[in-house]
Every structure is written in structure tokens, then in C-alpha cells.
A and B are shown apart, each in its own frame.
Chain A
Amino acid sequence: AQTVTQSQPEMSVQEAETVTLSCTYDTSESDYYLFWYKQPPSRQMILVIRQEAYKQQNATENRFSVNFQKAAKSFSLKISDSQLGDAAMYFCAYRSNTGNQFYFGTGTSLTVIP
């Protein structure tokens, strides 16, 4: 079964600094997708970034980038130039190419310090 592990329950970062959130996963599949979702307090969960496992190039979305290490089954999220609006719970998620179901980690609560 697929599992996703986020080992950092809480992280904090100074505004304008860079922070990296860790995520590891376990799967026997070769074709899958990895995601980072963000949920601000009492608001909907939104997609931050997506990575297809068959792509070697790390995905980037503005200030958000990932470090995808397929062999190590690691998928970390780097947030550059952190802003107050980045404060949220971040969830790492896995989805098989053939399935509909997401497998989520336990989440990392990110605080941005002004």
C-alpha cells in the first residue's frame, strides 16, 4: 500500500526567507503523481504544485519548487521569499496514474514570522 510521510508537524520561517518541507513516500508503482496542497486556516485546500513521476525535471511554480528524488522516494517543497500568506497547513499527496484516490501525509503547519 502507498504511504506518505511528512516528518515535520510544524515549521516556521522568517518572512522573505526560504523554507523546505519534507515528504517521503512508499510505493511499488513506477508511474504516479505527487502533489503539494496548501490549506490556509478555515479555507479550502488548494493545489500548490504537481510532479509527474516520469518527468526528471523538478516542477516549479513561481516561488514554489520541488526536489523530486525518485530513487529515494523523496518529494520536498521549497518555498522561496516566504510571504505571510504562505502560512498554512501543507499536505504532501500521492496518486497512482491508474487510480483516483489520493494518499496524503499528516501535514506540516507552516508559520511565517513577520
Chain B
Amino acid sequence: EAGVTQFPSHSVIEKGQTVTLRCDPISGHDNLYWYRRVMGKEIKFLLHFVKESKQDESGMPNNRFLAERTGGTYSTLKVQPAELEDSGVYFCASRSDGDRYGYTFGSGTRLTVV
């Protein structure tokens, strides 16, 4: 079974530019989560999709962040315009509805805003 795939693995952009991160969950996993780790700090929840619907987006920092999951498959997280404080590692995780514990995380996308 393929794992959760995130790309790019690294991205360096200038302040003010736009970046789109992508997450491909495990096939059949209805639940998809985005988390972020700012350097040296804890990993924080951003949002949760169930299929294509946003179940919980309480962790989204501001309206410069837009997450989508069209068709309930892969998800994108767009940052526009990027600010220096957006730098960090963005993790995606997916879970099957029938498996309460089976969260599978991706390797993360390291975003650096300069």
C-alpha cells in the first residue's frame, strides 16, 4: 500500500510569492489532516477534511492559507502571499473512517520563505 505522499519535499520562495503544497492520501482514506511545525516549536493542527468537506479548520492561521480537496482525493494547501513566519514543515496525514488509530503521516514539505 502506498503511503501518504507530499510534494514538493522542499520549497524556497520569496516573501510575497505564492506556494501550493500537495498531499496525496492513502487511497480510500476519507479523513485528511494538515499540520504545521514552525522551527523549534510543536506541530500544530491546521485543518481536517472528511472527503471533500472541511470538518474542522480551526487551526488555519489566517486567510492567506487556502486548503482544498476537490473530489475527496488529494488536497492542496496554498499560501498566498507567503510571509516569513509561514516557514516551517507542513505535514499531511490520512486515516480511514473505520480505523480510529490508523493515522498515516507523510514526510512533510519543508517551506522556507526568504
Q: What residues make up the interface of A, taking CB atoms closer than 8 Å to B?
A: 4, 9, 33, 37, 42-47, 50, 91, 93, 100-107
Contact = CB atoms under 8 A, between A and B. Distances in A.
Interface of B: 3-4, 9, 31, 33, 35, 37, 40-45, 48, 55-56, 59, 91, 101, 103-108
Given A37-B105, A50-B101, A101-B48, A44 B42 contact: no
Contacts of B48: 100-101
B105 A4 contact: no
Nearest to B43: A104
A58 B11 CA distance: 41
B34 to A, nearest CB: 11
7 contacts: A33-B101, A44-B107, A47-B103, A100-B33, A100-B56, A102-B45, A103-B42
A100 B100 CA distance: 9
A43 B3 CA distance: 11
B55 A100 contact: yes
Nearest to B4: A44
B42 A106 contact: yes
Contacts of B106: 44
A105 B42 CA distance: 5
A101 B42 contact: no
A101 B45 CA distance: 7
Contacts of B59: 101
A5 B37 CA distance: 15
Contacts of A100: 31, 33, 48, 55-56
